[in-house]
Structure 1
């Protein structure tokens, strides 16, 4: 199994080195950055499962840095450490989609299980040309400890489907000017990983019958109609994450 990759961002070199040594011994791949610019360069060049961020750093605080990181890699899970876990900065961090905020000095008995949990949390690919919908669903799923990757068109959706290990794909049927581009994305996703759960979103309940049959023939698992019932969608996503977690769910 491929090692999980963790980025540690803190201007305190000793803290970075100590945490890196511990995570390396546990089998993680780790990188270190001591400022925001270096961290963004690493995120731009590498795929990470988890980033551990200090809030108080010169030049760019951890919450601002995280906002920049998710533009490059929306699916990265994030943990913030701060001396003021109940302060305004911690709330900014939570509002930006950081899953957990821990108080300094960090309790390794709390940090290490959290890194393990987040690095193994399901990844959902959302493909929709509505940026507001993507942002809303991203926050909802992050609050439930999912990692979420976003794509806004057919080409980006297909590229990302080929580039990462997703448990669930949520795809809008009409990605551009009423075309049924979502079907092509779903087909490519199913080709790459037949075990992935695919969910189609459409606002055309009556008109979509023939298209849905074609999508089902290409691996579609489920459909959600607009206006969207978010709880119903979350239930379908949960079914997908359970399915992929089962030992016999993959292909041989």
Structure 2
């Protein structure tokens, strides 16, 4: 069931995602792929801002880079979100996307990431990630 805007032919946004990425070129590329899969994309290049945004807004998924300029490691953002969810029924899907090395991927999963991938992410993978993790009962 494809839902296109008749004026532009683009797929209407069905999901709201947060992209946490500090590289402007990757922001543009990843945003494009996510929009093509039906996502409204909000972007930040800072970990602390990601924490504020995830507390103030509702997202279907967060795509999180680990190398961010204002935090020691993006895993701190992951851990802070998971700590905030403790004792609640909430679970925000978080997909870690990093170029830091494969050994980091399992650590991210152990710390609560729903998925962890190495950069670059193939264009076809974005659609699969959205389909797997952006599932809201109220949509």
**TM-score, length-scaled by structure 1:** 0.44
Residues 1:15 and 2:31 are matched in the alignment: no
* Bigger radius of gyration among the two: 1
Residues 1:91 and 2:106 are matched in the alignment: yes
Q: What is the root-mean-square deviation in Å for CA atoms of aligned residues?
A: 2.2
1:121 is displaced (CA, Å) by 7.0
| CA distance in 1 between partners of 2:101 and 2:115 (Å) | 10
5 Å-filtered alignment, 1:1-252, equals 3-60=14-71, 61-72=73-84, 74-87=90-103, 89-120=104-135, 165=138
User: Stretches of 4+ moved more than 6 A in 1?
Assistant: none
Gaps of 5+ in 2: 4-12
Equivalent residues of 1:56, 1:62 under 8 A apart: yes
1:85 is displaced (CA, Å) by 4.4
1:131-170 CA deviation, whole Å, 9 max, x = no partner?
A: xxxxxxxxxxxxxxxxxxxxxxxxxxxxxxxxxx4xxxxx
1:28-48 CA deviation, whole Å, 9 max, x = no partner?
A: 111001011111111111011
Equivalent residues of 1:85, 1:102 under 8 A apart: no
Q: Structure 1's 117 and 96: CA in aligned 2 closer, same or farther, altered over 3 A?
A: same
Gaps of 5+ in 1: 123-164, 166-252
Q: State the SS of the aligned residue for 1:7.
A: strand
Counting matched residue pairs gives: 122
| CA distance in 2 between partners of 1:32 and 1:84 (Å) | 21
Pick 1 or 2: higher relative contact order, CA cutoff 8 A, min separation 6: 2
1:17 is displaced (CA, Å) by 1.9
1:10 is displaced (CA, Å) by 0.8
| CA distance in 1 between partners of 2:32 and 2:99 (Å) | 22
| CA distance in 2 between partners of 1:26 and 1:108 (Å) | 10
Q: State the SS of the aligned residue for 2:91.
A: coil
Q: Which has the higher helix share?
A: 1
**TM-score, length-scaled by structure 2:** 0.76
Equivalent residues of 2:22, 2:46 under 8 A apart: yes
